[in-house]
Amino acid sequence: MEFIDLRSDTVTKPTPEMREAMAEAEVGDDVYMDDPTVNKLQEKAAEMLGKEDSLFVPSGTMGNLLALLVHCQRGDEAIVGDCSHIYLNEAGGMAALGGIYPHAIKNQTDGTLALDDILSAIQSENVHHTITRLVCIENTQNVCGGVPLTVEYTRAVGKLARENNLLFHIDGARVFNAATAQNVSVEELVEPADSVMFCLSKGLCSPVGSMLVGSKKFVARARHLRKMLGGGMRQVGVLAAAGLISLEKMSKRLGEDHARAKKLADGLRQVNGLVLDAGTPFTNMIYFDLANDVRLNAFQVTEKMKERGILLDPDNDRRFRLVTHYWIDDAAVGKTVEAFAKVLN
């Protein structure tokens, strides 16, 4: 059976065009910086984000960790959101491997960190304090609903960072979704940041990989640390070839995923027993709870949906996040709504 897989956009398999490009990719040893396809990908990513240089990394987690390691020394502090991926879902790498202290402040429901909260989190110069070096935001903010942060907000954080001698990193795992949803360029959206990580392997459909983008100096240091972490790769042009298609083609079609998420949410709003979050979806993620009177829990619903060919990944025993992506078409949207209606009624 071919499953309809709504667990995440990380489940996206490479497109036939990607597989072809991967088979034909020109390659070389990327540790010698000799892989022409990787070099092309890195140039293209830097150009699209309006930064000097970029680095192909095996995962978004490694990209974020590298940014933290380049920007911060051991004992320094980074301000992060309490709902951020860096804080919650990267195995504490910043602390474990970098000796970097995460100063978590509240993510507002709109995904932002309040500017006043950032300001109050900055440590004053004092022998008792850590040195606040970095502020990180996440765009789109996943846990807050896949919500996109605006150009204006990002500029305001950039200004605050400059005025207070902080560096500024964007976890832009889904920054192309954020740009698409707001009809702005990614370049504009990341302009104030010193560094940005984004994932090729999610909505952009590549099988593997993320990009870390910033100044030449930043990327050179990140390349050194990538080797230290065991992330120096060889003939990795076979993966970069897919990444180029992600940038050139897949980045331009994310609006389709957002439209299907909207259609799916509209359908699910009509299903008894589901309570959708206000405003969902903002991009490609739909968040909802089971109504109090539904006797099944989310894990039981997941089992029953799987019997109907639909894969879900519940957040907890009452809550779901569904994610649309390249392999979810209109028929899949219809079947999903129908299956929920059957399972719950």
Give the binding site for ligand PLP (CB under 6 A): 59-61, 64, 85, 138, 142, 171, 173, 199, 201, 210
Task: For the sheet with 101-105, list strands across it.
Answer: 53-57, 210-214, 195-199, 167-171, 131-138, 76-81, 101-105
Residue 251: is it exposed, middle or buried by C-beta count within 10 angstroms (0-12/13-18/19+)? buried
Report d(CA 298, CA 315) in Å as an integer: 8
- In the bound complex, what is the minimum distance in angstroms from residue 49's beta carbon to ligand PLP? 16
For residue 226, the minimal CB distance to ligand PLP (Å) is 14
Q: Which residue is nearest to ligand PLP (CB)?
A: 60
| Residue 60 or 214 with smaller CB distance to ligand PLP | 60
**Minimum CB distance to ligand PLP, residue 95 (Å):** 16
Of the two residues 8 and 15, which places its CB atom closer to ligand PLP in the complex? 8
Nearest distance in Å: CB 59, ligand PLP: 3
Phi then psi for 289, rounded to 5 degrees? -115, 160
- Give the C-alpha distances (Å, rounded to integers) separating 267 from 77, 260, 264, 276: 45, 10, 5, 11
Decide whether 247 or 339 has the Cβ nearer to ligand PLP. Answer: 247
Measured from the CB atom, the residue of 169 and 301 that comes closer to ligand PLP is 169
Q: Quick one: 209 or 273, whose CB is closer to ligand PLP?
A: 209
- Decide: residue 100, CB within 10 A, 0-12 exposed, 13-18 middle, 19+ buried: buried
Q: Identify which of residues 64 and 112 has a Cβ nearer to ligand PLP in the complex.
A: 64
For ligand PLP, the closer of residues 142 and 336 by Cβ is 142
Q: Which of 227, 156, 219 is nearest to 192 (CA)?
A: 156
Q: Hey, which residues does 76 pair with through a beta bridge? A: 131
Strands 131-138 and 167-171: parallel
Q: CB of residue 1 vs ligand PLP: minimum separation in angstroms?
A: 27
- Report, in Å, the least distance between residue 138 CB and ligand PLP: 5
- Rounded to a whole number of angstroms, the distance between the first and last alpha carbons of the chain is 24
Distance CA 214, CA 216 (A): 7
> DSSP for 81-120?
ETT-HHHHSSTTHHHHHH-PEEEEEPBPTTSPBPHHHHHH
Tell me the closest approach of the beta carbon of residue 325 to ligand PLP, in angstroms.
13
